[in-house]
Amino acid sequence: MKLLRNFFRLIKIELVILKYDLVHVVADYSNSKFLKIIDLLNPWHYTKVSTKYSKGQRLRLALEELGPIFVKFGQLLSTRPDLFPEDIISELKLLQDKVKPFDSNLVHNELQRAYGQDYKEVFLEFNDAPLAAASIAQVHEAKLHNGKEVAVKILRPKINKIIDKDVSLLKSLVTSLVFFWKGLRRFRLKEVVGEFERTLEDELDLLKEAANASQLKRNFNDSKILYIPEVYWDYSRTNVLVLEKIAGIPIADINSLKSVNTDMKELAERGVDIFFTQVFRDKFFHADMHSGNIFIDASDPKLPKYLAVDFGIVGSLSLEDQEYLALNFLAFLEQDYYKVAELHIDSGWINKNTRPELFASAIRTVCEPIFEKPLKEISFGNLLLRLFQVARKFDMEVQPQLLLLQKTLISIEGLGRQLYPDLELWKVAKPYLQDWFKNRYSLCNTADKFKDSIPDWISLVPALPKYIKNNIISNQQDKISKQEVKDNNLSDINSNLKTLNYLVVLVVIVLGYSLFLK
């Protein structure tokens, strides 16, 4: 049954591609003669689709028809003006918050299901016209009975089943690809799909999104550069999220920002600051930072403030990931490619037998041209692609836990290009990373870490004598076994261990007393 369902889904994908004549679009950009021949065999090529809609419109409509996973892919592509022409980008941007909304009757049904009562009993006012519509949910303006204005996010009906089908298909495709092409295994495609599936699962539970918003709000509680709206927990459910309504200029509306004399350079640099603060201070970051999710409070145009929404996708890093990233960023900024190579090898991302000088030389060839240039002359996306090409020669494995971070970096690049093309991203980042490194490895910070670990060490003290005893007995028994000694004088050992126990206790008492005096 599952195989049959996937088969029909594949057929539908192929029909949508043909219906919107996307083969012709790809053939044009790739200049592939083979694809152009295939396109001539497509019966839809001779219909009005090609003339009625532009290339960008056809791509957007196809992604919308294929469903949420494909829409999200289109959202990512919309942040890459370096890869696609403006007509394609402008259409893909509509996927961020201009997806076709679902009917108001369905909205009322979902609210009824969530609250167990008529939505008019919950909201004093409710606007049926959606404020924004995306692939998984849409947002409506409303007012609570206490007079507070709110934004109500509602999941699309039956969205869970739709996503389950596409994820199941994706898993089957990846399994087949990895089976037939062994070289794909190092890309860890199964783990990547698993990570994508977990991300989608989080987006389908709006209470998780509420928790993400609350965490980010705590992290930036008194911030002058980023504001997170308040969550109204009493009104939020798994399929409905109620947040404080915010007012600001969409970050993509460059003309409006400039019309109020917004300092675009300051705005762009604050965006970089927010990203690095989330990653290297909090290890927790908003991972869906496309232009549809960010607004600007320009009431003070010289010190503009970011307003963020949509917290369904967030990323978190382990301490090891954070430290690895920081050291790599610093090494890149210092143009210490040998250090970058060593870090990759030490982390296990590159084979341990790799000669670091060879890998460093390959990285230098890719990275050296990008430094000391403004952002408008640097494509971080192209840099990543070239790095992957180099890494392929050294059997580098893809790290699924960092995919969200890579996606966020690409979004930051796209926003930076729109706001202030001359922004020198690396120059803004370098002082921040240097300060992080100094604080991270300062004497005071090391002392604080040691102090924080004291309770853990003290909790181990009661078990220490027993551990030492068992270890000595084990070592002694191994020694006796190897030497084939028949007489095992355990009584002497126990006698010595008792003396050792007393010594350990005495040492612990002395150390504890010394710490108490200090």
Alpha helices in 254-355 (DSSP H): 254-259, 264-277, 319-333, 337-347
Inter-residue contact 235 to 122 (CB < 8 Å): yes
CA distances 400 to 167, 187, 212, 408, Å, are: 16, 9, 20, 14
465-494 per-position pLDDT tens digit = 666 666 666 666 665 555 554 455 545 555
pLDDT given at position 479: 58
Beta-carbon neighbour count of residue 112 at 10 Å?
13
Give the range with max mean pLDDT: 198-202, 305-309, 454-458. Answer: 305-309
428 assigned to some structural domain: yes
Q: Are residues 415 and 463 in the same domain?
A: no
What's the pLDDT at 518?
47
Helix axes 189-203, 403-419, angle to 10 degrees: 70
Looking at the structure, tell me whether residues 390 and 256 fall in a common domain. Answer: yes
Task: For residues 506 and 513, give the distance between their C-alpha atoms in angstroms, rounded to a whole number.
Answer: 11
Residues 49 and 77 both lie in one domain: yes
At 47, is the pLDDT very low, low, confident or very high (cuts 50, 70, 90)? low
Which residue in the block uniquely carries the two structure tokens 């022409």?
85
The pLDDT value recorded for residue 321 is: 81
Residue 208 burial (CB count, 10 A): 17
**Looking at residue 364, what is its pLDDT?**
87
- Longest distance between any two alpha carbons in the chain, whole Å: 97
User: Would you say residue 250 has pLDDT above 60?
Assistant: yes
Q: What is the pLDDT of residue 513?
A: 43
**pLDDT top residue among 474 and 255:** 255
pLDDT by residue (tens digit) across 357-412?
A: 998 998 888 788 776 666 567 666 566 656 666 776 777 766 656 767 777 877 77
- For residue 121, pLDDT over 70 is answered with yes
Quick one: 479 and 408 in the same domain?
Answer: no
Gap between the Cα atoms of 472 and 84, Å rounded = 68
Give a yes or no: residue 182 inside a domain.
yes
Residue reference for tokens 């909201």: 123
- The per-residue pLDDT of the chain, averaged, comes to 78
Per-residue model confidence (pLDDT) at position 515: 47
206 vs 199, residue with greater confidence: 206
Q: Which residue has the higher pLDDT, 139 or 389?
A: 139
Domain interval for residue 371: 249-441
Q: Cα 99 to the chain's mean position, in Å?
A: 23
Give pLDDT, residue 83. 59
**Cβ proximity of 502 and 464 under 8 Å:** no
- Shared-domain flag, residues 368 and 430: yes
pLDDT digit string, tens, across residues 15-36? 887 788 776 666 555 555 655 5
Q: How confident is the model at residue 125 (pLDDT cuts 50, 70, 90)?
A: very high
- Residue-level pLDDT at 174: 75
**pLDDT for residue 92:** 83
Percent of the chain with pLDDT over 90: 27
Q: How many domains does the chain have?
A: 4
- pLDDT of res. 96: 67
User: Is 406 part of any domain?
Assistant: yes
Q: Which residues, 6 or more positions from 72, have their beta carbon under 8 angstroms from its beta carbon? A: 135
3-class SS letters over 146-207: CCCEEEEEEECCCHHHHHHHHHHHHHHHHHHHHHHCHHHHHHCHHHHHHHHHHHHHHHCCHH
Number of Cβ within a 10 Å radius of residue 43:
8
Residue of 82, 428, 418, 92 whose CA lies nearest to 258: 418
Distances (CA, A) of 100 to 130, 131, 200, 237, 305: 10, 12, 20, 23, 30
Tell me if 372 is assigned to some domain.
yes
487 and 412 in one domain?
Answer: no
Q: How much is the pLDDT for 381?
A: 57
Q: In this predicted model, which residue has the larger pLDDT, 218 or 351?
A: 218
pLDDT value at residue 290:
78
In a domain, 330, yes or no: yes
Residue 263 counted as domain residue? yes
Same domain, yes or no, for 188 and 74?
no
The pLDDT value given to residue 485: 47
* Mean pLDDT on 324-337: 81
- 300 plus 407 within the same structural domain: yes
Do residue 327 and residue 425 come from a single domain? yes
Report the sign of the C-alpha dihedral through residues 423, 426, 427, 428, in that order: positive
From 143, 176, 200, the end of a domain falls on 200
Q: Same structural domain for residues 285 and 407?
A: yes
The average pLDDT across 422-447 equals: 73
What strands lie across the sheet with 294-297, from one edge to the other?
Answer: 226-227, 305-308, 294-297, 249-250
- Alpha-carbon torsion, ordered 343, 344, 350, 356, to 10 deg: -60
pLDDT at 32: 56
* pLDDT higher than threshold 60 for residue 499: no
pLDDT band with cut points at 50, 70 and 90 for residue 413: confident
Categorize the per-residue pLDDT at 510 as very low, low, confident or very high, splitting at 50, 70 and 90. very low
Examine the fold and report which residue of 72, 95, 118 is the final residue of a domain before the chain moves on.
95
R_g of the chain computed on alpha carbons: 29
Which of residues 441, 459, 486 is at a domain's end? 441
pLDDT of 428 strictly over 60: yes
Helix (H) / strand (E) element for 451: namely helix 443-460
Rounded mean pLDDT, 277-297: 89
Checking if the pLDDT of 300 tops 90, the result is yes
Residue 489 structure tokens:
């004088």
pLDDT mean over 182-186: 62
* Residue 118: per-residue pLDDT: 94
217/226 Cα distance (integer angstroms): 9
Residue 42 in contact with residue 70, Cβ under 8 Å?
Answer: no
Q: CA 340 to CA 387: how far, in whole Å?
A: 12
d(C-alpha 17, C-alpha 31), whole Å: 18
Ranked by mean pLDDT, which of 91-95, 140-144, 410-414 comes out on top?
140-144
Give the pLDDT confidence score for residue 133 in this predicted structure.
86
**CB 366 within 8 Å of CB 390:** yes
Note whether 74 and 190 are same-domain residues. no
Which residues participate in catalysis according to the annotation? 288
Rounded CA-CA distance 198/321 in Å is 19
- Report strand pairing: 123-126 vs 137-144: antiparallel
432/470 same-domain check = no
Per-residue confidence (pLDDT) for residue 25, from 0 to 100: 64
Q: Copy the structure tokens of residue 106.
A: 């369905």
Task: Tell me, yes or no, whether 31 lies in a domain.
Answer: yes
pLDDT on residue 27: 59
- Is 48 a residue whose pLDDT tops 60? no
Considering the domain boundaries, does residue 270 fall inside one? yes
CB 283 within 8 A of CB 316: yes
Per-residue pLDDT at 251? 93
**Residue 495 pLDDT:** 52
Q: Which of 426, 458, 238, 258 is nearest to 330 (CA)?
A: 426
pLDDT at 220: 96
